[in-house]
Amino acid sequence: MSNANYIFDATEENFQQGVIENSYKAPVLVDFWAEWCEPCKQLIPLLEKLVADMPGQFVLAKVDSEAQQALSQKFQIRSIPTVLVFKNGEMLDQFSGLIPEQTIRDIIAKHIVTAAETMRNRAIEDIQAGDLTAGMSKLLEAEKLDPENAMIQIDLAHLEAQQKNYPEAKSRLSRLKLVDREKDDVISLLNKIEFTLTTENAPSIDELLKTIEVSPDESLPRYQLATQLISQEDFEAGLDHLLYILQRDRKFQDDAAHKTMLSAFTLIGDDNPLVGQYRRKMFNAMH
């Protein structure tokens, strides 16, 4: 494969595919340059030389900052040349100015895709194609290659939860380092598992609806109903039932309705308008 396959001009139109999607296969260095910039004219040949020296280990995306001002603004480029390093869909590193070749090599080396990451990417392809068995097998192989890789552990937990192996998924997530346990997707998955485990041995939704119709102020069946609805992503109905308990039985199971609403907000995500709406309702009910 020629070096040209690893070098391209990035634009606003092809950035998603060329940079973000490609970065799951190999690191992508995004070089912001301009025709009038003398250091840029020295850096580009150096980066192209590294592409030739390290074929397939990274991709070089060149952004003409004058022609692609929207991209420059999006990434808050203050000076050029500036190089951003993308991997797994995220911007993980950057440098500005003309720096020594060895320093650039060291930066690239930090982000080169490992054998474990390659196996993980193959597993994700299997999972997306619906072959969960092959995906699990490859993820376990990736885990052997790199047991400390948090992304592999999180992928395994997602797949275990999908296969209803909730205790193992929860245990796996609990073994992550604190910085990884605090990631949004990990917190969301843990909350989803908790909701599912809470409802595991509860009566069916139909039974619970009949129970609260007869005994509307009985908190336990209403709470079981709320958690089941939330686990099935019927968020508004579930939150309404939790709010009902919060307004009438604040002491139920050590303020369980309040705590569960907070967990539900994390699961739903702050970008969902329901979260702001029900935070206000919760506040009013508590005060």
Kindly list the catalytic residues: 37, 40
* DSSP code of residue 65: T
Residue of 167, 186, 188 whose CA lies nearest to 178: 186
CA separation for the pair 160, 175 (Å, rounded): 15
Q: Give the Å distances, CA to CA, from 151 to 22, 40, 145, 227.
A: 18, 35, 13, 28
Q: Is 90 helix (H, G, I), strand (E, B) or coil?
A: strand
What are residue 94's DSSP bridge partners?
84
Q: Is the peptide bond before 203 cis (omega within 30 degrees of 0)?
A: no
Q: Give the Å distances, CA to CA, from 186 to 5, 107, 163, 180, 258.
A: 36, 28, 17, 7, 21
CA separation for the pair 195, 226 (Å, rounded): 10
Residue with tokens 């052997």: 144
Rg (CA), the chain: 25
CA separation for the pair 101, 157 (Å, rounded): 40
Length of the chain: 287
Name the amino acid, one letter, at 35.
E
Q: Determine the distance from the C-alpha atom of residue 78 to the mean position of all C-alpha atoms in its chain, rounded to a whole number.
A: 28
Which H or E run contains 148? none
